Structures are given as structure tokens and as C-alpha cells.
Structure 1
Amino acid sequence: MSKLVQAFFFKSCLFQNHGVSFCKLLVRYIASSSRYSHNRSCSSAPDLNAKNSVLLDYLVGSLKFSMNKALSVSSSYSRTKSLEKPQEVVCFFKGLGLSDAHVQSIARTVPSILFADVEKTLKPKVTLFQELGLSTLISRNPFALTFSLERTLRPSISLIKKMLVSDVRYRSKEQVNGDLLRVLTRCSTIFYMTRRLEANIIYLESCGIVGSQLSSLLLSRTRLFTMPVEKLEELVSRAVEMNLDTGSRMLAHAIGVLGCSSMKTLNGKYEVLRLFEFSKDEIESMFVKWPYMFGLSEANLRCKIEFFLNDIKIEKALLVQQPNLLSFSIKERVIPRYQVLEILKSRRLVSKDLRLITPMSPSNRKFYDRYIMPFTNDAEDLLLAYNSKFLDTS
């Protein structure tokens, strides 16, 4: 900066005889520099329409790109003067039975696919997906077509499928392939994280999460398997700090909840429970029995606790013993079934000691068959109470 000022001072001396001051000269120079910078930036910006108008028109007209997206892509492929390769790719996808809308969506999602080699790059990957019954992956997660076949796709798919097949529950080939598709659709990054995926599987198995629990966790919380193993260890440590033992069948559920919640979010829900005077031990006891309690929003958690403690006035100890009562919809399930239960108890048709969770758990059909159908003399009153969920229950 000092050199620039010195230069201006020198020039000002040259123009002193002409009555031009240093300050005026500086202002004029800054103005001219700004105009030069602006003109330079404008001239350096690519004239995208002029550079590749053929590709631009094709992207907008045939593949329904937005103008901004088309400009960006045509700029990246400004040297591509022929539409031969994009048209070959589009023709290939249509030959697979994909609709125009699907092909357009694939192109807009991953524009680089339009410039891939059909024979060497796309066909081998599509063949693999077809062999595994994953043909719909092409349209559901077209990013899969951007990964290396041998280095990435085969190893990752093989590992995930092996884990799903190891599930002890009986599942047909179609069910396994359906679950495989769900995993590969939910998380694109899982394709190139084979080593991390393998490390996380080994660690979770060491914590007692195996078989159906492991595959269920993969299906419901796929992104847990792509995080660094150290982060996964932190989640397990947090669950253990809340009195959940490794080896517990609830550990997988706890990790799933903790993995998608920040500490700020968890603390907010913890404070909601403290507002209702639940002790630390009671909160941890509820978490151990039903971790999904911390998966509810603060507003939902508060609303449900208020209903049970203040509206129907159950003992707080009952909610500590059966926290999964909080899993049910108050309007659609708890209120109508509670009213049926109260009628049955008042008429001594069921035991007064019947646990509240018992009539809440069955499906609607089973609840009807068990708590309404057998009591023909009281069926009208029971049905009226049960259908009151459609009425104002305030």
C-alpha cells in the first residue's frame, strides 16, 4: 500500500504544473480501476449461450433442465460440441424401460452421467443391479452409477447383503433385495465407505447388537453405519451413562435415538421431564425401558405427559413403569380405549387391576374383538365411547 501511495505522489508531482492535485488524481485512478475491473470480470464470464448453445438447448428443451442448471452444465462441458454421447445415454436409459420423466430426473440429479461411456461404464453397473433385483436403484439413487464397479459397488453391496442375509428371521430373496434397495437408496455415501461400514458392524456386534437387531438398525438408521467408529462408541457410552447395559435388547433402539439427536435437543426433552418432577433415576429408568421417549418432540412429549398425569390422572409411578404409553396417539388410540376400559371397569366386566398398557397395545381389530365384541349387552355404550375419538373430547 505504501508503494502505491508513493507512486501516486510521484505522479502528482508530474501533474502539479497542470493544476491536478494528488487527491483528485487518486480519485480518478480508483474510478478508472473500478471500471477496468468490472469490464474485465464481465469479459471473463463465459458467454455460455454462444459457447455451447447446442448442449444448452438440448438440456433445457429435451431434459427439462432449469436455465441456471443448464448454463452451469453447458459451461462445465463447453468443449462438447456434439450431442452424440448424451443422446446415446438417454437412449440407453429409455431402452431399460425408464419413462421420460425418470430419465430427465436422472440427468438433472447427476448431469455427469450424460457424458459417461455406455458400454464400458453404465452397462456393467446396470447389469449388476439387474442381477440383484435392484433395477429401480437406477432411478431412485442414480448416484450409484457414478461409483467404480469393482472397487466400490461390488464390495459394499456384498457386505450389506451379507448382513441382511445373516438375519435369523425367515426372509425370502425378494425381501432381502427389497431391504438392500432401501439401504442403498437412503444413503449414497454408504457405497464408498466399505471399510468404515465393516468396522462399525464389528463394533456393534461386540456390543451385543447382532442378527435381526443389527439389520433392523441398518434399515432404520442407515447413516449410523457411515459415521466414524469413534462417534458410534460415543453414542454407546452415552447410552451406558443412562444405565443401559451393552447386551441389552434396547441398546440398538437407544443408539438409533441418540444418533439423530443433538445434546441440546436431548437436554430440552430432559428438562420437560424435570418440569413434571421426574427424578434423574426415574428418567433413566424410563429411557432404559423405552428409549424412543427421547425421540418425541418436546411439544409432543409435554402434551402426552400432561394428558396422562393431569387429564386422566394416572400415578406418575405407572408412567415410569410403562413409558411406552407415550408411544400411542392420544386422540386416535388412548382416549377411545381408555373410555371403553373405564366403562368395563365400572361394570366389573374386567379387573380394576388391568394394566393400562394391556388394552393400548393390540391392533384395532384385536381390541374390538377382545374388549367390545364379548360384551353384547354393553356393546352400544362401548361403541359410543370407542367412537368418541371423532368428537370434541375437551
Structure 2
Amino acid sequence: MFVYLCSRHLLLGKHRRTNLCFLLKNGFFIGKSFASVGLSESNEKLEEKKHSFAVSYFINYCGLSTKSAILASQRVRFQTPEKPDSVLNLLKENGFTNTQISRLVRIEPQLLLSNPEKTLLPKIEFFRSMGASSSDRSRILSSNPTLLRRSLEKHLIPCYDFLKSVLILDEKVVTVFKRSPWVVCIHNMVPNIALLRQVGVPQSTISFLVTNFPSTAFVKHTRFVEAIHEVKEMGYDPSKTVFVHAIQVLLRMSGPKLESKLELYKRWGWSKDVALLAFKRHPNCMLLSDKKITKAMDFFVNKMGSSLTDIARNPTVLFFSLEKRIIPRCSVIQILIAKGLVKNDMSLSTFILPGERCFLDKFVIKFQDRVPELLNVYMEKTDLLDVKIQS
């Protein structure tokens, strides 16, 4: 634009011949400059038109918000609806909901310019061939749209083949695809699985880990090696399922987070050894929120007078709802203890862990003739402090 204004001013001045020589001498090629300016302006208008059309399409046909549509349009632009229409039609014909399409397009807007028959359909058919239902296929691909951009031959098929060799059943392979966005990272999974076998983890336990905690199997090999070393140092037995439970917990928690959780338990009277005992019994007790740990420990220690060692040996009791399970059952047990009908030193696991029917039979119905209020106390989920113990 600057070139255009300068050249126009000089050419329209009094000394046009002299000015023209000046322009040529200084490299201002008038015809080229005018043409370049016009072309630049034309390109800008074309890009604006493409941008505007793409934004409108993302909003009206893909269900994106204005903000998401603008962001998507910065990654892919188009001026006609033919290609994106053909992609959306293919997705709808294969069971994708509007919500799933919106998510897929928001994450990978470039897919709208893909060839539906050559690029997208073969991958949808690939998941169909392994037994994934229509709803499973749309769920897998909308949750991880990058799968539609991956090479079928170089990534998806090799990944499937390896998972099938580990899990045996197609339905388990489908489950892994549903649960982990990193499922195609077999360059990490292959050495991780090999290491598990090397340290003596049974095939059934490896299958359990990959199916239920696939992200654990796909982490960087160096991190995986460190986690296995730590777990072995703690004394876990590789032949037990809890071994892989501990691995996945360590991989989800950084060192400082684990230390912070151990410190929280220590504030309730556990030594580090006792806290590690709880971790060995149920590793996921380190993943509970600080609030849940505090409320449960406060109730068991201060209101029930439970043994710290008993809690550490049975950390599963910390996972249950305080209001819906722990308080109602403890209310019943406190009445039975006061009546001398059960032992005072009964382990928490004896009455917290059993299923509903088992608890009612063993601790409520069994004593209902002698303590008629038991069922009401239990059904009303009365707080322990409000129970009126009648001697």
C-alpha cells in the first residue's frame, strides 16, 4: 500500500518525467507494484470469505460455539460445503450423534476435508471387524478423533494385533480402545509388557492391567521401569494382582504427592510403616481425597475408638460412604456392643465390608427380637451421636 501511494503521488506531480525516472532508479516497478497490491487485496478478501464461510459452517452444521468455530476455522478453511457435507453424512450414517460429531470436529477440524470413502470409512470398518458395536465405534472415534487420522496399516492394525496377543479376546481389545486415548502408543506398551513378564507377573494379571488401566501400560518405558523398581522395593509380590494396582497408583502420583498423603495419614497416628501397610493392602487408599480421608479417620478414631492398626489392615473401609454405609452400620454395632451381644474388639471389616443382605441377616434380623429398635436405627441412617442406647 505504501508503494502504491508513493508511486501515485510521484506520477501525478508536476515533474512526472523526472519522477518516473526516480521510481525506476529506486526499484519501484510501477506496473508490478500496482498488480501486487491488487492481488494482495484480492487474496485477503478471498481468505476472509473462506474464513467467514468456515465459521458459519462450524456453527450451523457442526454445533460448535462461536469461539470454538473461530478456532477451528484457523486450522482449516473451505469455501464450499461439498467435502464437509460428505464427511458429516458418512458419520451420521455410521451412528455418530450430533454431540459426538461436534466433539470430533472441534478436536480435529481437518477431518472435514478428508476423503470419506478412502480415509474415514476403512477405519470405521476396521473397528466393526473387531466386533465393536455402532455405539462403541462412534464413542471410540469421537473420544479420540486422532484415530481417524492414523494410518490403518502402520498404526491401527499393528496395535490391534499386539493387544489381541496380550488380551486374546476382541471384546477386551475394544474395551482398551474405549478407555485409553494413548492406545496406539505400542512403542511404549511392548517393552512394558515384556518387563512385567520378566519380573514374574502372570498373564492373567497383565491382561487385568491392560484392560482396566490401559494408560498405565502405555506410559514411557523409563517411568514404567522406575515404578516397578519402587513397587518391588516395597515388598509387593509380582504374582499378586495388587502388584499392578500399586504400579498404576505410583504412576498416577508424583513423589511429593505420595509423601503428602503419607503425612496426612501420619497426622492421624499412623507411622510411616503403618501407612505403607495400608498402601500394600489397598494401594488406591493413597488416591482418596484429603477430605474423605479426614472425615473417615475422624469418625473411626474419635467416635468409634477404632484401632489404627485395624484400619491400616483393612483400608477398604475408608472407601465407603460415611452417611450411607459407615454411620448406619456403626450405629447398629454400638447398640449391640452396649447390650453385650457382640464383642467390643470386632474388626471394622467384619461389619463394614459385607454386602447389604449379609449385614442385615447377621447384625439386624438376628437380634431383632431382643433389640427391636435396630432396624429403625439402621433404616433411618441415624448418626452415631444421636443413637439412644437403652440398657
Which residue of 147, 154, 157 corresponds with 1:154? 157
Give the match for residue 61 of structure 1: 60
Residues 344 and 350 in structure 1, CA contact (< 8 A), matched pair in contact too? yes
Give how far 1:147 is off.
Answer: 0.9
CA distance in 1, matches of 2:348, 2:69: 60
Relative to structure 1, the CA distance from residue 161 to residue 363 in structure 2 (aligned partners, 3 Å threshold; closer, same or farther) is farther
- Give the TM-score of the pair, scaled to structure 2: 0.77
Alignment of 1:108-147 (within 5 A): 108-134=106-132, 135=134, 136-139=136-139, 140-141=142-143, 142-147=145-150
Alignment of 1:1-394 (within 5 A): 48-78=47-77, 80-134=78-132, 135=134, 136-139=136-139, 140-141=142-143, 142-165=145-168, 177=171, 179-191=172-184, 193-352=185-344, 354-378=346-370, 380-389=372-381, 391=383, 393=385
CA distance in 1, matches of 2:103, 2:283: 39
Runs of 4+ aligned residues of structure 1 deviating over 6 Å after TM superposition are none
CA distance in 2, matches of 1:187, 1:55: 31
CA distance in 1, matches of 2:92, 2:188: 36
Residues 75 and 110 in structure 2, CA contact (< 8 A), matched pair in contact too? no
Residues 138 and 145 in structure 1, CA contact (< 8 A), matched pair in contact too? no
Give how far 1:232 is off.
Answer: 0.9
Give how far 1:332 is off.
Answer: 1.9
Residues 328 and 381 in structure 2, CA contact (< 8 A), matched pair in contact too? yes
CA distance in 2, matches of 1:46, 1:363: 69
Residues 50 and 79 in structure 2, CA contact (< 8 A), matched pair in contact too? no
Relative to structure 1, the CA distance from residue 289 to residue 299 in structure 2 (aligned partners, 3 Å threshold; closer, same or farther) is same
Residues 331 and 377 in structure 2, CA contact (< 8 A), matched pair in contact too? yes
- Could you list the per-position Cα deviations for residues 3-32 of structure 1 after superposition, in whole angstroms to 9, with x for gaps in the alignment? xxxxxxxxxxxxxxxxxxxxxxxxxxxxxx
Residues 269 and 297 in structure 1, CA contact (< 8 A), matched pair in contact too? no
- Could you list the per-position Cα deviations for residues 67-122 of structure 1 after superposition, in whole angstroms to 9, with x for gaps in the alignment? 344344444444x4432211111121222243444333332232111111122111
CA distance in 1, matches of 2:252, 2:101: 33
Residues 345 and 351 in structure 1, CA contact (< 8 A), matched pair in contact too? yes
Gapped regions of structure 2 (runs ≥ 5): 1-40, 387-391
CA distance in 1, matches of 2:257, 2:269: 19
Letter in 1 for 2:124: V
CA distance in 1, matches of 2:254, 2:188: 22
CA distance in 1, matches of 2:372, 2:173: 48
Greater CA deviation, 136-145 or 148-157?
Answer: 136-145
Give how far 1:357 is off.
Answer: 0.7
Greater CA deviation, 50-59 or 359-368?
Answer: 50-59
CA distance in 2, matches of 1:244, 1:46: 65
- Could you list the per-position Cα deviations for residues 236-265 of structure 1 after superposition, in whole angstroms to 9, with x for gaps in the alignment? 222233333443432111112111112221
Letter in 2 for 1:289: R
**Aligned partner of residue 189 in structure 1, secondary structure:** coil
CA distance in 1, matches of 2:257, 2:65: 38
Residues 138 and 144 in structure 1, CA contact (< 8 A), matched pair in contact too? no
CA distance in 2, matches of 1:64, 1:327: 40
Greater CA deviation, 290-299 or 243-252?
Answer: 243-252
Relative to structure 1, the CA distance from residue 62 to residue 259 in structure 2 (aligned partners, 3 Å threshold; closer, same or farther) is same
CA distance in 1, matches of 2:294, 2:76: 55
Identity of aligned residues (%): 27
Give the match for residue 33 of structure 2: none
Relative to structure 1, the CA distance from residue 110 to residue 390 in structure 2 (aligned partners, 3 Å threshold; closer, same or farther) is farther
- Give the TM-score of the pair, scaled to structure 1: 0.77
Letter in 2 for 1:138: S
CA distance in 2, matches of 1:60, 1:333: 47
CA distance in 1, matches of 2:206, 2:281: 19
- Could you list the per-position Cα deviations for residues 265-302 of structure 1 after superposition, in whole angstroms to 9, with x for gaps in the alignment? 11111112222332232222222222222111223223
Relative to structure 1, the CA distance from residue 355 to residue 76 in structure 2 (aligned partners, 3 Å threshold; closer, same or farther) is closer
